[in-house]
Amino acid sequence: MRGHVARKAFALGSAGLMALTIAGCNQSTPEEEASQTNLSIVEKVQIDENGAEVKAAEGTTPADPAGDGKATCPPVSIAMAGALNGPDAALGINIKNGIQLAIDQHNEANPGCQVQLKPFDTEGDPQKASNIAPRIVEDQYTIGLIGPAFSGETKATGGVFNQAGLVATTASATNVTLSENGWKTFFRGLANDGVQGPSVANYLKNTLGHKKICVVDDSTDYGLGLATAVRDTLGPVADPACNISVKKGDKDFSAAVTQIKGAAPESVFFAGYYAEAAPLVQQLKDGGFEGAFVSADGSKDNEFVKQAGASSEGALLACPCGPATGTFADEYRAKFNTEPGTYSTEGYDLGTILLKGIDSGAITRPDLLEFVRNYKGQGVAREYSWNPEGELETTLIWMYEVK
């Protein structure tokens, strides 16, 4: 989901310039570097809030969106809201694809109940999401929503969906305060940053034993919330000499790199999205930084690897998102000709839950809201059941590594 970055500058004499001219057509882009090194994001370990390993559950069977094939329903639709274009589009597309797979499997098995997916592109922008929200709630056929995808746009629209009584399940918005607004229709399909932040901070501090960490945020609702949780948990391990805020959309991180190199930390934690994580890690590596680069769910996408190239190798990425496994992963690859991405599993699971509600006869907004409120069941990513604030009853974090 993110852009390209200027590569390292070289000081050249006339001989060096000639060599560069001759070899110029053989230079690799970051995307080509990643391809040549066969880098990918792989699951490393599941952790609790103390940063300690928790063995993943085995032998559980996730809910099947196909159901028993006997469902009947009038025309109804599920909306999806998130970035489908723009620098963060990969995350939104991952969610949309997961939902689409669940709906297609349901509709194929249930000719008497055909559910439509209605996607709305917010580009991850709270203002655009605010303009789209009324269109979603005014559609009488839409009885459930998966989204918005990001914290800022969820904050901007949650009151609209709450007032309309439209169940709004998010596959990816992790800012802690979203569940503190009194919204009765908000349900978060993964752990929030109040879990993710302490978990990854304690993993770095307690499990890896890092004594000095620089924390960088991107000044967004998501980045600031996550960085605050990480800084608070790290305490004095979060070096105040490199407590840095950058801006969403920045591409030149030279000032931050200089500050980080001066502090010489064992690791850098970046709270933000992959569009900025990719050039940041490139510029850190190009600047000679040899410590660990760590980020979280906003960066955990194959686009981070593509855009950062070889500089992404060894990066650690935390995520409340579960890995794509088993039949789901096979079916996703077959349908979309690509690997499931970050939040694909959550999109699929939340789509399945809404479909199970529809199949049970919950074909109005109040009935589907009540179904979700009382739901308890196993998904591909985790078990789903919610407390009255819309937070999951059980939350764990995964650590991933680029290798």
User: pLDDT, tens digit, for every residue of 295-330?
Assistant: 999 999 889 999 999 999 999 999 998 888 889 999
Query: CA separation (Å) from 48 to 172, 232, 377?
Result: 19, 17, 21
State the first-to-last Cα distance of the chain, in angstroms, to the nearest integer: 20
Distance CA 34, CA 311 (A): 9
- Measure the CA–CA gap between 259 and 263, rounded to whole angstroms: 6
What's the CA gap between 285 and 106, in Å, rounded?
47
348-361: average pLDDT: 98
CA separation for the pair 319, 191 (Å, rounded): 9
* Contact status, residue 122 vs residue 129, Cβ threshold 8 Å: yes
Instruction: Compute the average pLDDT of residues 81-91.
Output: 94
Average pLDDT, the chain: 90
Q: What is the pLDDT of residues 160-215, one digit of tens each?
A: 999 999 999 999 999 999 999 999 999 999 999 899 999 999 999 999 999 999 99
Cα–Cα distance, 10 to 20 (Å, whole number)? 10
pLDDT digits (tens, 9 = 90+) for 279-298: 999 999 999 999 999 999 99
Return the minimum-mean-pLDDT range out of 15-19, 61-65, 279-283. 15-19
The CATH label, of 3.40.50.2300, 3.40.50.200, 3.40.50.720, 2.60.40.10, for the domain at 76-191+322-394 is 3.40.50.2300
- 39 pLDDT higher than 50: yes
- Identify which has the larger pLDDT, 9 or 32: 32
Residue 326, pLDDT score = 85
Query: How far is Cα 352 from Cα 61, in angstroms, rounded to an integer?
Result: 13
32-55+194-319 maps to CATH 3.40.50.720: no
Q: Which of 25-29, 129-133, 189-193 has the lowest mean pLDDT?
A: 25-29
| Residue 383 DSSP label | E
Do domains 32-55+194-319 and 76-191+322-394 share one topology? The answer is: yes
pTM as predicted: 0.81
Winning range, highest mean pLDDT, from 56-60, 237-241, 379-383: 237-241
Which residues does 387 contact at the CB level (< 8 Å), separation at least 6? 393
Residue 6 pLDDT exceeds 80: no
- The CB-side HSE value for 174 (13 A sphere, CA atoms) comes to 32
Say how far apart CA 198 and CA 214 lie, in whole Å. Answer: 15
Instruction: Parse the chain into domains and list their residue ranges.
Output: 32-55+194-319, 76-191+322-394
pLDDT confidence bin for 55, thresholds 50/70/90? confident
The reported pLDDT for the residue numbered 12 is: 30
Relative to beta strand 383-384, strand 377-378 is: antiparallel
Query: Which of 34-48, 165-179, 243-257, 260-274 shows the lowest per-residue confidence on average (mean pLDDT)?
Result: 34-48
The least confident of 6-15, 333-342, 388-397 is 6-15
Q: Cβ distance 51 to 205 under 8 Å?
A: yes
Q: Token pair for residue 295?
A: 């980020």
- Name the residue among 107, 57, 54, 61 with its Cα closest to residue 377: 61
Report the distance separating Cα 313 and Cα 307, nearest Å.
12
Mean pLDDT lowest among 20-24, 112-116, 259-263, 398-402: 20-24
Question: Which tops the pLDDT comparison, 267 or 15?
Answer: 267
